[in-house]
Amino acid sequence: MSHDIDAHTLAVPYALHALPDDEAAQFEEHLWLCSSCRDEVDEVREVAARLGAAESITTPVELRRRVLSEIAEVRPLPPVISEGEPAPAVRHDGARRWWPRIATGVAAALLVVVGVMTSVLVDQSRELDDSSDLRAEIGRVAGAPDMQQASGKVDGARVIALSSRTQNTTVLFSTGMEAPPDGKDYQAWFIDGDRMRSAGVIDEDDDGVRPLVAAGLDDAAQLGITVEPDGGSEQPTTNPLVVMDLES
């Protein structure tokens, strides 16, 4: 790390804990002198924190609230009495007459509980898997020996692309990038001269756009982002919001 230009490129892998201990220690010395790298580290850690938050588990209180809400819709049915038919006399075996209906109601409620809990756990499992896979992919590219970094701006929001030719993958992420208009999606494109091929549609969450892991980097020289109809397009239908040069 003999030149500042080399140090600047280590901000992202440092923020993602992808640097060896000796390089991380050297980079921390550089951080004292470089405000732009400090800002970049903060931005990347903000994205990483959002990914980590996706692994949080629904609290028991929230799960209990959802289960009780579903159970509240289930009630044991009263006995059916035909119109004009006198009410049955009270008998000592009344408990036995009511028990089948009560048992049916309880069984229905238990089915609801099982259904709700299964649904919650399946949803959480999928979120955990997706988040873990995404973080693993980002770490793999950020830690690659040939990782190269490019950046740009979209309406004032910083966009960062990490690329590795050996991994044949680019990771694209941003902080502060607002969601696209209703009915639209952001789409990334690998660019090589006049040829543009899709790198993927960029997903969103409540905090904005999510990181995109785009395989198939190949010989692309640039990466661009456009606004496309919902679900993306086979070819761009608008001019790029930003184009970043990818070093070969």
Summarised one tens digit per residue, pLDDT across range 88-134 is 554 555 555 554 554 455 455 444 444 544 444 444 444 444 566 77
| Residue 228 backbone dihedrals phi, psi, to 5 degrees | -130, 165
pTM over 0.75: no
Confidence of residue 228 (pLDDT cuts 50, 70, 90): very high
The residue-averaged pLDDT of 7-23 equals: 76
3-state secondary structure the chain: CCCHHHHHCCHHHHHCCCCCHHHHHHHHHHHCCCHHHHHHHHHHHHHHHHHHHCCCCCCHHHHHHHHHHHHCCCCCCCCCCCCCCCCCCCCCCHHHHHHHHHHHHHHHHHHHHHHHHHHHHHHHHHHHHHHHHHHHHHHHHHCCCCCEEEEEEECCEEEEEEEECCCCEEEEEEECCCCCCCCEEEEEEEEECCEEEEEEEECEECCEECCEEEECCCCCCEEEEEEEECCCCCCCCCCCCEEEECCC
The pLDDT score that the predictor gives to residue 184 is 95
- The end-to-end CA distance of the chain, in Å, is 20
Instruction: Identify the weakest region by mean pLDDT among 18-22, 49-53, 109-113, 133-137.
Output: 109-113
41-45, 155-159, 236-240: which has the minimum mean pLDDT? Answer: 41-45
Report the pLDDT value the prediction gives residue 185, as an integer from 0 to 100: 95
Q: What pLDDT is stored for residue 190 in this prediction?
A: 98
- Residue 180: which residues within 8 A CB-CB, separation 6 or more? 186, 204, 227
Listed by start position, the domains of the chain span: 60-79+94-139, 146-248
